[in-house]
C-alpha cells in the first residue's frame, strides 16, 4: 500500500470516530511520519514524495469522512516539518556523543602513551578528522531531509493553489519557508561542534609538548 493510501485510510477512520479529529490526526501523522522517514532511508525513497503523499493522504481521508481539510493539512505540514528537524537533531546529537566519546578515549590513550610527539600528533589529527567527518555526514543528511520536506510541502501547496483560499496556500508556504530556519540551526550547531573537535587536536598536542618539556626538565 502506498504512503498516501495508508494515511488516507487511517485518517478516514479517525475522522469517522469523531471527537477531537484534528488533534488525533496530527498525533497520528507525527508518529507515522517518523516511521516513514526511517523507511525512506532504508528503501531510498525520496522524503520529498513521502511528505507530499502524507499531506494528500490527510486531505483525502478527511474529505472522504465528510470533514474540511484545510486547517488540519496546514497543521500536518507544520508537524512533519518540525518532526524532520527533531529527527535530524537526534542524529546529529548521536554523532556528537560518539565524537565526544572518541575524544575522551583518545585523551586517556594520550595520557598513558609514551610514544613520540609525531605519532601522538598524527593520531589526534586522524581521530578528530574521523569524528568530524561523521558529524558532517549526519549534518548533510539532516539538511537534505529538511530540504526535501520543504520541497514536498511547497509542491503540495502549488498543486492546491486553485482549490483553496489564499490564506491556506500562504500558511503552507510559510511552513515550507520555516525549514530554512531549521536548516540554518542545524548547520550552525554542527559547525560549532566541528570547530571544537578540530581545535581539540591542537590543544592536546600543545599539552603533550608541555608534558614532554616537563619530563626533560625533571631529568636534567
DSSP string, 109-166: HHHH--S-HHHHHHHHHHHHHHHHHHHHHHHHHHHHHHHHHHHHHHHHHHHTTTTS-H
Local structure of residue 135 (DSSP, 8 states): H
Does position 41 have pLDDT exceeding 90, yes or no?
Answer: no
State the total domains in the chain.
1
Query: 35 near 85, Cβ under 8 Å?
Result: no
Residue-wise over 22-58: b if at least 16 C-beta within 10 A, else e? bebbbebbeebbeebbeebeeeeeebbbbbbbbbbbb
Of residues 179 and 156, more confidently modeled: 156
Q: How far is CA 131 from CA 112, 143, 190, 198, in A?
A: 21, 18, 12, 9
Per-residue pLDDT band for 48 (boundaries 50, 70, 90) equals very high
pLDDT, tens digit, 9 for 90 and up, residues 170-216:
888 888 787 777 667 777 776 776 666 666 555 555 665 555 445 44
Q: Find all residues with CB under 8 Å of 190, minimum gap 6, and list them.
A: 92, 135, 136, 138, 139
Domain range holding 162?
3-219
Of residues 115 and 52, more confidently modeled: 52
> What is the model's pTM?
0.77
Give which of 172, 97, 168, 104 is closest to 135, Cα–Cα: 97
Most confident of 33-42, 98-107, 177-186: 33-42
Amino acid at each position: 500500500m502506498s504512503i498516501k493510501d495508508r494515511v488516507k485510510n487511517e485518517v478516514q477512520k479517525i475522522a469517522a470516530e469523531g471527537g477531537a479529529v484534528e488533534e488525533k490526526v496530527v498525533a497520528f501523522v507525527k508518529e507515522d511520519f517518523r516511521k516513514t522517514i526511517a523507511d525512506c532511508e532504508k528503501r531510498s525513497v525520496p522524503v520529498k514524495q513521502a511528505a507530499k503523499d502524507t499531506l494528500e493522504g490527510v486531505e483525502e481521508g478527511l474529505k472522504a469522512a465528510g470533514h474540511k481539510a484545510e486547517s488540519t493539512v496546514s497543521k500536518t505540514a507544520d508537524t512533519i516539518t518540525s518532526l524532520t528537524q527533531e529527527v535530524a537533531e537526534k542524529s546529529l546529537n548521536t554523532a556528537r556523543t560518539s565524537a565526544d566519546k572518541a575524544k575522551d578515549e583518545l585523551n586517556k590513550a594520550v595520557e598513558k602513551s609514551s610514544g613520540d610527539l609525531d605519532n601522538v600528533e598524527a593520531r589526534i589529527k586522524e581521530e578528530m578528522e574521523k569524528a568530524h567527518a561523521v558529524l558532517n555526514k549526519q549534518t548533510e543528511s539532516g539538511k537534505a531531509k529538511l530540504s526535501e520536506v520543504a520541497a514536498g510541502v511547497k509542491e503540495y501547496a502549488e498543486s492546491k493553489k486553485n482549490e483553496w483560499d489564499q490564506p491556506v496556500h500562504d500558511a503552507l508556504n510559510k511552513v515550507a519557508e520555516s525549514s530554512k530556519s531549521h536548516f540554518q540551526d542545524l548547520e550552525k550547531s554542527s559547525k560549532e561542534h566541528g570547530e571544537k573537535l578540530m581545535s581539540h587536536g591542537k590543544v592536546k598536542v600543545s599539552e603533550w609538548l608541555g608534558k614532554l618539556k616537563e619530563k626533560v626538565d625533571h631529568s636534567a
